[in-house]
Amino acid sequence: LVARENHPTGTVIDIRGVKLGGNQIQVIAGPCSVETQEQMHLAAAGVRAAGCRMMRGGAFKPRTSPYAFQGLGVTGLEYFQAAAREQHLPIVTELMDVRMLDTFLEHDVDVIQIGARNMQNFDLLKEVGRVNKPVILKRGLSATISEWLMAAEYIAAGGNHNIILCERGIRTFETAYRNVLDITAVAMLKKETHLPVLIDPSHAGGKAWMVPALARAAIAAGADGLLVEMHPNPCEAWCDADQALTPQELNELMVSLRLIATAV
């Protein structure tokens, strides 16, 4: 179902009137995790001011350590929704557990994110395949293109064709940065599938100073958009502080992207 030949012109996904795919590039920005009402309020204003039309933020966080901040849970969804609605921004947030799917729907989550660590959680994929909500499927930490496309196929097989792929860097021998951004995947996916392709330059590089270069490379390579971490005060972020842009840096990034692609 996800093969290019089934839809040669490419899928365009409509997220509460915001179009992603085709010629419509979207930059989805926001903090790694929802922390406080104040933080989300400032973040939403920054996302909007930079000209982005969708917002990200995690209320349920897949953390390496069980002792690290795990996210605010349902309270986080409420803070996120309140801040984003004020700025008319559809929200993207990660679903880790099938048992929370109804709660996500009740809280009117606009786009369900399936994180890298759950790319092959097949029961989760089957469940999001049964609902009529756009899904961002991130690439697994060491997943091949074909494993990734098969994971997307699980969602499509359930009837949900609103799938967006997101390359977020893969594991290699390199340790100088968080992950290796696989730009090659953009070219490959554009040939193999009709699904829109996002790049997450934040989790790829792991450092805020790297984000603009990786983001520009992604757009130049033909990606349909970006998923970028931005925090009103990165030094104080509870999660992924090193890779968060400031609102000002997000704004500058957007200006530089418009020189590469007019549809940003």
Enumerate binding residues for ligand PEP (CB under 6 A): 32, 58, 62, 94, 115-117, 138, 168, 200, 203
Backbone angles phi, psi at 32, to 5 degrees: -60, -55
Q: Which of ligand PEP, Mn ion, none does residue 161 bind (CB under 5 to 8 Å by kind)?
A: none
Q: Which is nearer to ligand PEP, 175 or 262 (CB)?
A: 175
Q: Which of ligand PEP, Mn ion, none does residue 190 bind (CB under 5 to 8 Å by kind)?
A: none
Backbone angles phi, psi at 15, to 5 degrees: -115, 95
Site for Mn ion, residues 18 to 77, rule: CB under 5 A: 32
181: its two tokens: 């951004």
Question: Under 8 Å CB-to-CB from 46, ≥6 apart: which residues?
Answer: 29, 230, 232, 247, 250, 251
The helix/strand/coil state of 53 is coil
Min. distance of Cβ 74 from Mn ion in angstroms? Answer: 20
The reply on whether position 94 binds Mn ion by CB under 5 A is no
Site string for Mn ion, 209-248 (x = CB under 5 A): -------------------------------x--------
Q: Which is nearer to ligand PEP, 177 or 263 (CB)?
A: 177
C-alpha torsion sign, points 122, 128, 134, 136: negative
Q: What's the chain's Rg over C-alpha atoms? A: 17
d(CA 34, CA 82): 12
Positions that interact with Mn ion (CB under 5 A): 32, 240
